[in-house]
Amino acid sequence: MSQVPLERKVLSENDRIAAQLRGRFAQEGVLCLNLISSPGSGKTTLLERTLEAFSANQRVAVLTGDIQTENDAARLRRFGFPVRQITTGGTCHLDARMIEHALAEWRPGAFDLLFIENVGNLVCPASYDLGEAAKIVVLSVTEGEDKPLKYPAIFLKSKLLVLSKTDLLPYVPFNIAAAEDNARRINPAIEIVKLSCLTGAGLDSWQQWIAERRRGLEVRAELVT
């Protein structure tokens, strides 16, 4: 079997499982968000700042993926919410089967907001549907503003671009307007949030974006019932 048909078969099976996950999330009223970025963009720090802003009674859970170690899961567990590490052992992305297996250890209806922190990579994760409501691409100002043009697939498929580490803008040669323009050249509908986890600037906009999607999910559930 040639490589292209095999890849199509793998993606087809992934899409089947992702569709089942999406149906489960819809039935249980879960908003699932898939965070994708290069290594070191600040995904884990963003999740730390996000989790610490939630009250203890919020029904939130996190799945975090890495090739090796449980370092990120250990950082996130200290906030008291359910966190599970998915160690891929070399695979450069999470897939729907991995998500399905990880969720099997949690009881249905245990949470209504699920964050998935994907493996640090802008290429492979773009091809894999995890049943999420939205892919979110994180781009730090320590990277190039041409990243959307170099890696268009993930920017095309993402509903939100988070421009992170904005506190470093005075010290790095990053053109934030060009980054936004490049992202919208690829995906005119992409929403953009600019923030700094160090200073807290922009975190309110990020939290508002999440809250709006949670409200939208609740409205759709009411319309169905």
* Residue at 104 is within a domain: yes
What is the model's pLDDT at position 69? Answer: 82
pTM to 2 decimals? 0.92
Total number of domains in the chain: 1
What is the model's pLDDT at position 11? Answer: 82
* Residue at 43 is within a domain: yes
What is the model's pLDDT at position 224? Answer: 61
What is the model's pLDDT at position 2? Answer: 53
Q: For 54, which DSSP code?
A: S
* Residue at 223 is within a domain: no
Q: Are 103 and 71 in contact (CB under 8 A)?
A: no
* Residue at 32 is within a domain: yes
* Residue at 208 is within a domain: yes
Block mean pLDDT (10 aa), the chain, length 225: 59 94 96 97 97 96 91 94 93 95 90 97 96 98 97 98 98 97 98 98 98 85 61
What is the model's pLDDT at position 225? Answer: 55
Could you identify the residue written with the tokens 């359910």? 82
- Quote the CA–CA distance of 115 and 112 in Å, as a whole number: 10
**CATH for 152:** 3.40.50.300
Residue 169 sits in which domain range? 3-217
* Residue at 224 is within a domain: no
* Residue at 63 is within a domain: yes
* Residue at 225 is within a domain: no
